[in-house]
Amino acid sequence: MPVAVDDHRRHRAAWYAPLVGPFLCPASRVGELAAQIDLPLAVRLVIDTGAGGIGPAVDAIAADDRLVLRGVEVPLPPDAAVESARRVMAALDAAMGGPDDEEPAYVEPARAPGWHQALEVIAESGYRAKLRTGGPTADALPTEAEIAQFVIACLDLGIPFKCTAGLHRAARHTAADGSEQHGFLNILAAVAACLDGGDDQAAVAVLEDRDGAALAARLKSLDDRSATQLRRWFTSYGSCSVREPLDDLIALDLIQV
């Protein structure tokens, strides 16, 4: 925790600070975080304590003047997707008083039967969705088709979403350990393709693209209105790396030092 806090503060003081969001902290470690800080810190809670842990975690942040809540992220269990989603929505309503753009709540359906029905519950609530795009094992990586289906479902239901895990690099690639990894530009370009009327096959083709320069050129060609609309739906992604995606953005001339 001390290393994570120090690294986050260093990133937030750097020239690229506008690209860095709030500090992500598991609900189970809020006490540990509080013991490490002396200056105010914007925090987004990742609920690892179940629906019943949402309220206590939000209350713990509110009770500490040094911590500023900047949202909540909640994974749903793989079983009873609809019922679990409803419990989480009720807990979020009770803890946060409803959807709030300043303190957005993201709900992550499991990759299991019922995920689309869970998204429908999220859409009815006004909260946002979250897609896990990687993990420590190969089976944690969703296929291009799964990502395309999720993106189209969110757009059809009117749900802004974020991604989490993986996405350290701009374009899809094979990592040093031999695993296949999705790219954050692929996700952006796939959403743009869907907003432009593309179907799931069009999105899959974009998600398979390994040419970072081509993906960058595709996104550079968007006008301001299209870019704003794109970011309205794909809001952000969580990453344990800041330097890797930043280096790719610089190399592809998408930002300048």
Quote the CA–CA distance of 19 and 254 in Å, as a whole number: 12
Rounded CA Rg of the chain:
18
Q: What is the pLDDT of the chain when averaged over all its residues?
A: 93
Residue 163 has pLDDT above 90, yes or no: yes
Nearest to 246 by CA among 11, 1, 3, 5: 11
pLDDT classification of 13: cutoffs 50, 70, 90: very high
pLDDT classification of 95: cutoffs 50, 70, 90: very high
| Locus of tokens 């330097």 | 243
Least confident among 6-15, 131-140, 146-155, 219-228? 131-140
pLDDT classification of 93: cutoffs 50, 70, 90: very high
| Locus of tokens 């753009």 | 101
Res 103: pLDDT: 92
Residue 60 has pLDDT above 80, yes or no: yes
pLDDT classification of 102: cutoffs 50, 70, 90: confident
Q: Is the pTM of this model over 0.85?
A: yes
Residue 140 has pLDDT above 80, yes or no: no
Local structure of residue 22 (DSSP, 8 states)? P
Quote the CA–CA distance of 113 and 215 in Å, as a whole number: 32
Res 136: pLDDT: 73
- Quote the percentage of the chain above a pLDDT of 90: 82
- 3-state percent breakdown (helix, strand, coil) of the chain, nearest 5: 50, 15, 35
Q: How far apart are the first and last CA of the chain?
A: 29
Nearest to 36 by CA among 71, 6, 64: 6
Which sign does the torsion angle of CA 186, 188, 191, 195 carry? negative
Quote the CA–CA distance of 124 and 107 in Å, as a whole number: 13
pLDDT classification of 116: cutoffs 50, 70, 90: very high
Res 249: pLDDT: 95
Residue 231 has pLDDT above 80, yes or no: yes
Contacts of 142 (CB under 8 A, 6+ apart): 111, 131, 132, 133, 150
Res 141: pLDDT: 84
* Sheet containing 234-238, strands listed edge to edge, beginning at the edge strand earlier in sequence: 23-26, 41-46, 67-75, 105-108, 128-132, 161-164, 234-238
Q: Let me know: does 57 contact 45? Beta carbons within 8 Å.
A: yes
